[in-house]
Every structure is written in C-alpha cells, then in structure tokens.
Chain A
C-alpha cells in the first residue's frame, strides 16, 4: 500500500486519493507535509499500521534513492527531516535549499511496509548513517554508500507470508497468475466487492487481446489494440471500453546536429507535409488522436495551461503548398518531382523506429510513404529494441526519430522531455548547466536561446527548470512561453496525443472509476486502487 494515490491531475500535481493516509496537510510554502494514518489501518496479521511503519519505509526508500528520499547534495525536492508527531501522525520537511512542487508526491507515492517484518533488515545504526549522509564531505560520501549497501538486504529479502495493509493478501503465485484473497483487516473492507482476485501475467499484447476476446478479463490496463481487434473485443457481451486522457504525446524529434534539420524551414516543411490524421488513422486509430498543433503538451491540457494563447499557435495543418514554400525558403529545389538540397544532394529523411513497437512502425512507414509521395526520399530504420534505441538516440545516432513528449501531468515533467538533458540542460549539484550539442546526452542539439515573438530572447531550459518551483501564475506564464517557443521552433513535430484505452467486463462486476483514477502511474494494478475506493461493484 501507499500513503495515497496521486491523481495525476492535469494542472494540480498534489491531489490524491487516500491510501493508508486518511488526511494530509501541506504548508503554504510547500515545505512541510503532515500525514495522518487512517485510525483503523491495520496489517493483515492484525497489527495496527503506525508512524513507525512509515519511518521504516522511508529508510528503505532512502536505500533506493527514490521519490523524495534522495541523499545527493543539491538534489531538488528531497526530504530533509522526518518527525514522528504521534503514533498515527508523521511530519515531513522539504530541504528549503532546493524545494520543488513534486515533493509531496514523492512522499505520498512511497510504498509502506510493516516495520515488524522489515524493521530488522536495516542495521541498528542506520539513522546515524542517514544523518551523516546528508553532508557534502568525504565522510558523507561513505555514509551514502553505506545507505545504498544496506538496501541490498532489503532487495534480497522475501517474507514467508504476505503481510498487507491493502484490500487483499497474496495467497499464492506462479509464473502465469497470482491469487489474492480478501484482507478482512483492511480499513475500508466494506468498500471491497470481489472476495478474490486473479491477476494474470502476459508476455505480449496479443495474449491480452485473446483474453479480452474470450471475455475472460473483468478489467485490463492500456494495451495497444488494432481497431479491428477493438471491434471484436467490444462485440463480446459485457465488454466495455473506456477512453480517457493519457498524458503522453508521440513526437517526431530532430537531431539538429544533422543538416538540414538545423534549418527551421525544413522542420516546418515536414510539419506541413505530414497528414497527421492519416498517420493516426493507419497507425493507432484507437490509441491516439492526431495532434491539433505542436505545443509540446497534450491537447487536453493545452487550454488549461496556455488559455487563450493556444489559438495563436500555428496549427501546421496538412498543406503541401506551404511545405513546398518552406523547402524553397530552405534553398531546396524540385527536380523531376524530387526535392534537392542547395548542395545538390537529394533531401533524405530517415525515420528511426523500434522493432516491435507496432504503432510507431506503421506510423513511421506511413510518414515515409507520405514524404516519398511529396518528393522527399524517406525510409524507416528499426532499432532492435527500446534500450538500444534510447542509447543510440542519446549518442546522436539518429537524425530523426520518435520521441515521447508531454509526459505530464506535472508541467516540469512535460517540458523536461523537450528542454531537459536531451537538449543540453541538466541539473548538477542543484545548479542548471548547459552542454553543447553532442555532449552529455544533448542529442537534440537545438540552440541555447531562441528569439520568440513577443517574448524576446528565451532560454527554454532555464524556464523549464523554473517550473519545479514556480507558483501557479508563473507556471502559467512559463507554459505559455514554452508552448509558443516549441510551436515556433519545432524541436519536434507533435504527431498524436495518446488515448488511454482500457477494457472491462461488466457481467460480474461494474468497474466505474473516475477518469483521473484511470491514469495513476507506477502501479502494478490500477484495478486494485479502484476496488479499495469502492468503484468496483458486484452485479446484483
């Protein structure tokens, strides 16, 4: 269980559904978080959940360096103090040197484990080591190493019996499925409808399609499903599809170290030359919606952040005449129907995709086809897997490739995808620094500053970094400038906004969570959250 489940609200990062915490209070300066554990919260062996469990869980989180539990000097959004107020109340304080808006998320997202099971795994002097690790001298370095080493014991530990404070305990598990049975000690047990849950494992999307077509799943997460398979799934009695906002956008990104992609006219030409509706229709009709413009963020949150200024953005609607004008502005000419660069070489656009990513492959191939039809030599190239793709991309091996952007909901995360490390800006020891194209993972290779209409010289990396700490009004201002910068200078062309398609079957249980509970991230089973909140009800 976690203290709470982050709603991933499009514009407000600190909204939660309750988990083990029943109440939480954030101070006005965002530096202090006071969490109260539900008075009835109890482990499945009958032991009450206490502040001690939260402290032990925080210590374990420190060994992994996750969420707000980071010890590196200068790390932003780190917890500097954890204080037990009483048996059910804990206060977390954020390091005032480098505060962020995500601090509260980092705490609430922590997994809480029982202290009476996990408490002995860490050395007795762990608290002292932790204290020593907060400095920035050599002794602190050693202490940080000791903290990380202490984590090895936790990783290697497997309790004999599953002790849970959630709605279910694990009864048994094998490689293909796990059986969970009701935990009668769960504090919200009265909201839990199913007595047992079987969680199925799968190796490929097709397996999930088969389960769904057989009507065997009461609920499934997002999987990429072709349109005709969706039809088959929806034809099964009881099956229902839910399509909600998913804070992910597919973009076509450029490495501006490669000519002619450093020329804004060339990037604009490509934006005009690609019919995004056709791409989505062919590649991912059920999992995406063609992007209405390029802003760097999902259409769903564009108005919320940018407001009226959204209408001023160039939509880059499919227009081959304007594409041709842009190419001519870039000094290219058309000979025998093919576009030739000023240096006499044919204009070539290699589009990099990943083997096995069916929607990217189909989209990439369709884009290549469209460009060829327009007179630009284009073909797709496949990387063997996503790890290789990311490595090679970071190493600057690809002139053009797919790149997920708009990974919200937090504004900081949204623009990190465009103006973070991949474009030269990174945080070292709390300070933002800029690396030249080709260095330190800067593969996009855009300039450090842009001239943006109405805003003068803009350093997008600095603005994106400021989003960590900016208040609401400033955040809106920054988001507007960055959306406009992205729209004018096109480090990527936004292709489609993802749609979160999830399936359920209402023959036995009605699954009806609110939309924001459908996009909680980083959890193994969303249905587990829905069940404990009472959004899964039995059919009478």
Chain B
C-alpha cells in the first residue's frame, strides 16, 4: 500500500514512503481515537499470536473456586471448573482472529479478482462471472453451514474461514466491478491498452493499485462480519459447541451456565462480549484512519 494517489501509483521511492508515513501519523494525531484503535488492534494481534503461548497447557485451575467473582488474580472471574476466564478469552482470540483473517483474505482474493476481471474484460466473461456472483449472493449461508456442521466440526479456523469466505465474496466482487468499469474508461488505462500491455499487467499493475485502498478497507470490514458471523454461529449452536473460541464461551454462558439468570456467572459471558466489542471498535477506528489516509479529498482538507 505504497500508493497515495492515482497519478503516481507506480512511483516508489524513499521520499514517497517517508511522506506516506508522515501522512499516516498526521491522520492518526488528528483524532486520538484512531491512535487508540490502532493500539487496540495491535493488542488483539498480540493476543492472538503470542497470547496463547504465554499460558501453560492444560490451563491451571482451582476446581473448588468455580464461578469466582472478578478479582486482581482473575479480572473476569473463573469459569464453571475454576479456570481463569481472561486466559480463556486470550486463548479463544486466536481462533476468532485467524478465522476472520482467512475469511477476509478469501473474500478479498475472490471478490477483487473476479470484480476486476469482469469489469475490465466486459462482454461474455463479465456475464459469466456476474451470474456466478449472483448465485453466490443468493446462497443461503446459514442453512449451508447447518448442513456442513453435520459433516465438519469446524474445529480448525481454516475450515471455518474458508467456508465463510467462499460464501461471502459476492458483494465485494460487484462493488469492485463497478469501480473497475469507471476506471477502465480513464486515459491511463486506455494508454496501457494502446501500448498493447497484457490483461494481467493492466489488471494487476494498473487497475488494482487505485482500487487497493478500497479493497484494504473492505478487508477490515469483512473481518468484522466474519468475527460476528462465526461467533454468532457458535453462539446460536449452529456449529458444534466445542473448541476454544468466544462464540463457544457465549453459548455455554447463556445456554448451559445460566449467565442470564445468575449474577455470579455474568463475568463469564461479559468477558468475550467485551473482547468482541473492543475488537469491532478497533477495526472501525483503523478503517476510519485508513479512509482518510487513502482518500485524497479527505486528506487534503
């Protein structure tokens, strides 16, 4: 993401990069909330990558101290068998974030490339790809997942991310196609075509860079969707309620442990909820910053 405007998309140099980061810092400083979002995001990334390694497995627990109230030792109390809830949230973050990342990557790769090619090539290719997109848009996700859950346990984030990604790229493909349709009439694309450059070159080197910021923001937004989708599926019990992730915790809290009826069990439900909320806030704030960084009109105010 070195490009900062459509004109000098292919210009890369140390000074450009410096200017870019200086711009980023300026944008961040203008609204401290964005800085907060970036820090939060970094925290979650740390939590999902390094976090689980900080705990010895099996997790230590005190079976006589179950559903303990929050304390310094256990900021979110303990679960039904005396395990620290915070450690469960940290360990659960890996599944949630990794699934979200895989979903987002699959969505972006499929959505962007199909949108770009369809928009650029027009004609029969466009028609075929858009019909496929239409079909993808009409696939009922929940029933498919219901059926798949009888075959798969979705214990690995790869399975979950892949399925969610394969089900969710349609909207992005449509949006990217419409952007491409407008871009392909611009002079620089016409020039490239006139020079006889190959289609892959034009699509990836000429069309992709100006759309990249838009795609990057979509990547983050589709991460939010993926987070809520998977957590929701586990929470509703559509997926087998196993494994270490926040959705399973929420499902257990509400349906098995009576968090809705018993105050002592509330922290076990609130901890993953809080994590979900903060993660969403972090992504939204980072997207807000990215929007201004990549959108010249907002930046040059």
- Contact residues of A with B, CB < 8 Å? 206, 209-210, 226, 228-229, 232, 275, 278, 281-282, 355-356, 358, 361-362, 365-366, 369, 372-373, 379-382, 384
Contact = CB atoms under 8 A, between A and B. Distances in A.
B262 A226 contact: yes
7 contacts: A206-B261, A228-B265, A275-B63, A282-B66, A282-B80, A369-B81, A384-B150
Given A209-B261, A228-B264, A358-B257, A381 B153 contact: yes
B258 A206 contact: yes
Given A380-B242, A381-B153, A358 B256 contact: yes
Contacts of A226: 257-258, 262
Contacts of A228: 67, 258, 262, 264-265
A359 to B, nearest CB: 9
Nearest to B59: A369
Interface string B254-292: 011110111011000000000000000000000000000
B258 A229 contact: yes
Contacts of B80: 282, 362, 365-366
A-side interface mostly: helix
A361 B256 contact: yes
A369 B240 CA distance: 18
The 9 closest A-B pairs by CB, nearest first: A358-B256, A372-B58, A373-B58, A278-B63, A366-B81, A282-B81, A228-B262, A382-B240, A382-B241
B22 interface: no
Given A282-B81, A355-B241, A229 B262 contact: yes
B70 interface: no
Contacts of A365: 80-81
A424 to B, nearest CB: 28
Nearest to A231: B262
Nearest to A380: B242
B258 A282 contact: no
Count chain B CB atoms within 10 A of each CB in A356, A369, A372 and give the residue with the most: A369
A92 to B, nearest CB: 47
B122 interface: no
A229 B256 contact: no
Contacts of A382: 240-242
Contacts of B255: 356, 358
Contacts of B264: 228
Contact of A281 (B63, B83, B242, B261): B63
A411 B255 CA distance: 36
Contacts of A381: 153, 240, 242
B263 to A, nearest CB: 9
A430 B67 CA distance: 53
B193 interface: no
Contacts of B252: 361
Interface string B173-202: 000000000000000000000000000000
B261 A369 contact: no
A366 B256 CA distance: 14
A462 to B, nearest CB: 39
Given A232-B262, A380-B242, 9 more contacts: A210-B261, A278-B63, A362-B80, A362-B257, A365-B80, A365-B81, A369-B61, A372-B58, A381-B153
